[in-house]
Amino acid sequence: MFEAFESDRGGAVVRRLLARAVDTSPDLRLVVLRLLGDLCPQADTWPAAADVAVGALGDPDDRVRRAAARLFVAAAGPEEAAGVLFGSSDPVARTALAEALWPPLLQFGDRGNQWAETVGRMRRDELPAVRFLGACSALLSADPPDWPMLDAAVRADLVPAAEALGGVGGRISWRAGERWAIALRRRDREQDAYATVAQLVRAGEGELARQAGLGIAGEAMWTWRAAPARLAPVLSAVLAEPASAVCTSAVGVVCASLTATRLVADQLAEMVVESRVSATVATALGCVGDARAVPELLRLLRGGQPHPRLGEALAAVALAVSDPTSLVATAQHVLAEHQGSCHQGQDWHSSPALVAVRCLSALGPDAAVAVPDLTAVLAEAMERGALAEGRLVVSALEEIGAAAAPAVPLLRQFAVSNDAAADLAVRALLRITGNRRIADDHLDSRPEELRRCRIAPDLFDWLVQHGGLTDRQVRQLNHLFTPPGLMQARVAIAYWRQHGPPAVPALLGTLPQYLDDEAYARPAMEALAAMGPHAQPVIPALDRLIASRHRTAVYLGDFDAEMRADEQHLQLALTTRAQIIASLS
């Protein structure tokens, strides 16, 4: 359909699709209107689709009317849709039109008075959901003295709006509290957000109001670094209540944040046995290295349906347990059960086998007893040409180190089986055997003006610490450090160890630019920590990063994951700063 639309918007295929919008089946009408909404060009109108949407606004099915409202805003444009909004007498259609207008209002909220008349009429509307959206929109551009009045208007219509918004067919996922939260975030009203959460989540409020407060709490945590610590006491009180939908939602908000999880860890540890939240709580505790989560994490792994954060949790908790026996044994059992999972129809990347490999990789030398199991998985992956699986297992064997020596022959085969995988096998062989000839041969096969070699930073760093670099390797290292980018950050620690104090000007001239970039920050900060007192000039830059009220921009497609990435980034900056300060004494 997309190809047909791109080639000829007025062609036979598109005309046929438009005609099906009046099919006798409401389910089909819904699908067609949704598809038409997805087809609408973002920078243009589509009169034919707008005509179809207008007709569907009177459909007897509520879902279809909501889908028609979304289509009309997309096809006719927000200005035309605003006129239809105020001319409609149907509450469902009008609410859906106002809801579909919300994204354009977000875009234009800070562009003068273009939408002032529309927003004003929405605020005076007879429908609470429309008034609510109007007040939230007004907050986007209102002067601070007007905020209390608008907040009161939002609060007055919050519950009925929460009941009306988000109906099936509208394709808008924001709940009422999240819309209010967006308005607070856009105006950077941090303290007001905390106060609003505290008011809404009180035990005396109704469920919809409390859920809205939790929505604001989640948005606040995504936005402001202080939010987890500020809101943890408020959310902790909700966690102490008897089981309810509100309590379950509060668990989700708390467990999404590493900081909040640490602050209420004792309370969460008591909830691990509650089936409604056990997976969420156990993985959150595991991700902060709390060993109390291990029994439940292993139960989840054995269960065969891993939680999305289970691999991360087991990898983190593996570093904290004093006795890894149960972790290793369970991982071995899972690998034995799930060999060949891909050709049995299961996606390796979401399989228990992958989680087990991640766990063994995190355990490193403590997982030596599992080398035969990993070798068997690697052999099978090679036989099936499953490169992604093989690379993950190779990394686990690398982390185990010298105890993985029985896997060396197979790793040598893997190194020549596919050019894309050869690098990882070479690095693993180097760390397992300690034979520098492996690194020397690999670097000798690369040009002196080295540009791309993902394992080169690791090879250089190992060689510097095990006998030093050859003259040619020094030139390769210098060339790799010259162009800005990820490779420059990754090779910086080897560059420092090779050149020492004479390299300080070059390092201090380049590494600070990577401190606020989550993707580049870790290798850059590791190099700065290794420099010790020579890195003292970067302390002000680290202080600015640490003092920022807002999260560092990270783009992972998941707000919770982006928040956790910033929390880890902040902790890395604090650790780096402390290491540099300690080196000065």
Cross-strand pairs, 550: 224
Q: Can you tell me the distance from the alpha carbon of 146 to that of 211, in angstroms, rounded to the nearest whole number?
A: 26
Flag whether pLDDT at 249 surpasses 60.
yes
Segment of 87-96, 214-223, 306-315, 387-396 carrying the highest mean pLDDT: 214-223
Is residue 3 within 8 A of residue 140, CB to CB? The reply is no
Can you give the pLDDT at residue 323?
95
What value does the mean pLDDT take over residues 127-153? 95
Can you give the pLDDT at residue 405?
97
Residues contacting residue 572 through CB under 8 Å, at least 6 positions apart: 521, 522, 525
Q: Which amino acid is at 154?
A: V
Q: Can you tell me the distance from the alpha carbon of 246 to that of 398, in angstroms, rounded to the nearest whole number?
A: 45
The tokens describing 554, both together, are 């990270």
Please work out, in degrees rounded to the nearest 5, the angle formed at the alpha carbon of residue 296 by the alpha carbons of 291 and 252.
90
How does pLDDT run across 466-511, given as a tens digit for each residue? 999 999 999 999 999 999 999 999 999 999 999 999 999 999 999 9
Residue 340, Cβ density class (10 Å: 0-12 exposed, 13-18 middle, ≥19 buried): middle
Q: What are phi and psi of 124, to 5 degrees?
A: -100, 5
Closest to 260 measured CA to CA, from 564, 583, 565: 564
Can you give the pLDDT at residue 40?
86
Among the ranges given (164-173, 279-288, 397-406, 431-440), the one the predictor scored with the smallest mean pLDDT: 164-173
Among the ranges given (48-62, 144-158, 411-425, 525-539), the one the predictor scored with the smallest mean pLDDT: 411-425
What value does the mean pLDDT take over residues 524-533? 97
Can you give the pLDDT at residue 342?
45
Taking the alpha carbons at both ends of the chain, their separation in whole angstroms is 68
Flag whether pLDDT at 172 surpasses 80.
no
The tokens describing 549, both together, are 């009220």
Look at the alpha carbons of 485, 491, 496, 498 in this order and tell me if their dihedral is positive or negative.
negative
Flag whether pLDDT at 110 surpasses 70.
no
Q: Which amino acid is at 386?
A: A
Look at the alpha carbons of 202, 204, 206, 209 in this order and tell me if their dihedral is positive or negative.
negative
Flag whether pLDDT at 555 surpasses 70.
yes
Query: How many helices (DSSP H) and strands (DSSP E) are in the chain?
Result: 34, 0
Flag whether pLDDT at 296 surpasses 70.
yes
Cross-strand pairs, 224: 550
| Higher per-residue pLDDT: 306 or 199 | 199
Average pLDDT of the chain is 92
Residues contacting residue 505 through CB under 8 Å, at least 6 positions apart: none
What value does the mean pLDDT take over residues 127-143? 94
Among the ranges given (7-11, 278-282, 368-372, 519-523), the one the predictor scored with the smallest mean pLDDT: 7-11
Longest dimension (CA), the chain: 82
Helix (H, G, I), strand (E, B) or coil at 517: coil
DSSP-assigned letter for residue 552:
P
Can you give the pLDDT at residue 306?
76
**How far from chain centre, in Å, is Cα 248?**
21
Can you give the pLDDT at residue 343?
42
Q: What are phi and psi of 105, to 5 degrees?
A: -65, -35
Q: Can you tell me the distance from the alpha carbon of 501 to that of 494, in angstroms, rounded to the nearest whole number?
A: 13
How does pLDDT run across 303-358, given as a tens digit for each residue? 887 788 999 999 999 999 999 999 999 999 999 987 655 444 455 556 899 999 99
Helix (H, G, I), strand (E, B) or coil at 563: helix
Residue 557, Cβ density class (10 Å: 0-12 exposed, 13-18 middle, ≥19 buried): exposed
Flag whether pLDDT at 146 surpasses 70.
yes
State the DSSP H helix or E strand holding residue 77, giving kind and residue range, or none if neither.
none
Give the DSSP per-residue string, 111-169: STTTTHHHHHHHHT-SSHHHHHHHHHHHHTT--GGGHHHHHHHHHHHHHHHHHHTT-TT
Q: Can you tell me the distance from the alpha carbon of 373 to that of 205, in angstroms, rounded to the nearest whole number?
A: 54
Q: Can you tell me the distance from the alpha carbon of 577 to that of 560, in angstroms, rounded to the nearest whole number?
A: 26
**How far from chain centre, in Å, is Cα 348?**
20
Residue 242, Cβ density class (10 Å: 0-12 exposed, 13-18 middle, ≥19 buried): exposed
Radius of gyration (C-alpha) of the chain in whole angstroms: 29
Q: Can you tell me the distance from the alpha carbon of 52 to that of 484, in angstroms, rounded to the nearest whole number?
A: 53
Q: Can you tell me the distance from the alpha carbon of 423 to that of 427, in angstroms, rounded to the nearest whole number?
A: 6
Can you give the pLDDT at residue 553?
87
Can you give the pLDDT at residue 574?
97
The pTM (predicted TM-score) of the whole model is: 0.91
